[in-house]
Amino acid sequence: MKKELKKNIYETVSTLRNLFIKMKVMLEEEQDKSHTAKEINGIKTELEACRRTSTKGKIETPSDRERELPKTVIREVLPSHDHPQ
């Protein structure tokens, strides 16, 4: 009878430990998700602030972000070799 009781207690304690470990892992994962979401929101806020300051007071719209910058390459046209000058 004592052996069965000891075995039953051991199994119950083992089951409880495993459940506590699973709960701890789940809680840590939720905290990581929450922490990551807070970091993302903070970075988004910083990005919007940078966009506002870089446009010198003008709020940047999505169409402004898609617009291409003007090309600044200077092309030099050389005289043709057929016509002497």
The 3-class secondary structure across the chain, one letter per residue, is CHHHHHHHHHHHHHHHHHHHHHHHHHHHHHHHHHHHHHHHHHHHHHHHHHHHHHCCCCCCCHHHHHCCCCCCCCCCCCCCCCCCC
Q: Domain map of the chain by residue range?
A: 33-59
pTM of full prediction above 0.75: no
CA distance 12 to 6: 10
CA distance 74 to 77: 10
The confidence score (pLDDT) of residue 51 equals 83
**Which segments in the chain show pLDDT lower than 70?**
55-78, 80, 82-85
